[in-house]
Structure 1
Amino acid sequence: MAFWSEFIVIVAVISSIKAVFGSGLGPSRLSVKCHSRLIVECSCPPKWQLWGKACYLLSETPATWDDSQSDCQAMGGKMAAPRSQEEMTLMVELARNVDLKFYAWIACDDKVVEGSWDCDGQEGSEPFLAWHQGEPNNSESQQDCAQIGQGGMDDVSCDLSSRAFCARQAACIHGLTHIRH
Structure 2
Amino acid sequence: MYRVLFVFLAALPDNCCFGVVASTDQECSTFIRSDDSSCPESWHYWGNSCYNITETKFTWADARDECKNLGGVLGVPSSDQENDFTVQLIPLDGAVWIDCNDLDVEGKWKCREGNVEVAYRNWCSGEPNNEDDEDCAVLANGWRSKREWHDLKCSRAERALCKMAGRPALHV
Question: What is the number of equivalent residue pairs in this alignment?
Answer: 144
2:110 paired with 1:118: yes
Aligned-residue CA RMSD in angstroms? Answer: 2.6
Extract structure 1 runs of 4+ deviating beyond 4 A.
Answer: 33-37, 39-42, 122-126
Q: Compared with structure 1, are the counterparts of its residues 80 and 125 closer, same or farther at alpha carbon in structure 2 (3 Å cutoff)? A: closer
SS of equivalent residue, structure 1 residue 135: coil
Stretches of structure 2 that go unaligned for 5 or more consecutive residues are 8-19, 22-29, 142-146
Structure 1 length-normalised TM:
0.71
Structure 2 length-normalised TM:
0.74
**More helix as a share of residues:** 1
Q: Which residue of 2 aligns with 1:14?
A: none
Structure whose alpha-carbon radius of gyration is higher: 1
Q: Compared with structure 1, are the counterparts of its residues 155 and 43 closer, same or farther at alpha carbon in structure 2 (3 Å cutoff)? A: same
The one of the two structures with greater contact order (alpha-carbon pairs below 8 A, sep at least 6) is 1
Q: Which residue of 2 aligns with 1:170?
A: 166
Stretches of structure 1 that go unaligned for 5 or more consecutive residues are 1-28, 177-181
The percentage of counterpart residues that share the same residue type is 32
Structure 2 matches for 1:139-178, cutoff 5 A?
Answer: 139-141=131-133, 143-150=134-141, 151-174=147-170
Q: Provide the rounded CA distance (Å) in 2 between the counterparts of 1:58 and 1:168.
A: 12
Deviations 1:21-67 (A, max 9, x none): xxxxxxxx653368988x56461111000002100000111000000
SS of equivalent residue, structure 1 residue 174: coil
Structure 2 matches for 1:8-19, cutoff 5 A?
Answer: none
Greater mean deviation of Cα atoms: 127-136 or 166-175: 166-175
Q: Provide the rounded CA distance (Å) in 2 between the counterparts of 1:78 and 1:164.
A: 10
Amino acid at match of 1:69: R
How far residue 127 of structure 1 moved from its aligned partner, in angstroms, is 1.9
Deviations 1:130-181 (A, max 9, x none): 111110000112x1100011211001110000001000011123365xxxxx
Amino acid at match of 1:138: N
Deviations 1:86-117 (A, max 9, x none): 1011110000xxx2100110011111111111
Q: Provide the rounded CA distance (Å) in 2 between the counterparts of 1:31 and 1:75.
A: 49
SS of equivalent residue, structure 1 residue 120: strand
Structure 2 matches for 1:25-40, cutoff 5 A?
Answer: 30-32=2-4
Q: Which residue of 2 aligns with 1:90?
A: 85
Q: Compared with structure 1, are the counterparts of its residues 66 and 49 closer, same or farther at alpha carbon in structure 2 (3 Å cutoff)? A: same
SS of equivalent residue, structure 1 residue 43: coil
Structure 2 matches for 1:44-59, cutoff 5 A?
Answer: 44-59=39-54
SS of equivalent residue, structure 2 residue 149: strand
SS of equivalent residue, structure 1 residue 173: coil
SS of equivalent residue, structure 2 residue 106: coil
2:39–2:50 CA contact under 8 A, matched in 1: yes
Q: Which residue of 1 aligns with 2:61?
A: 66
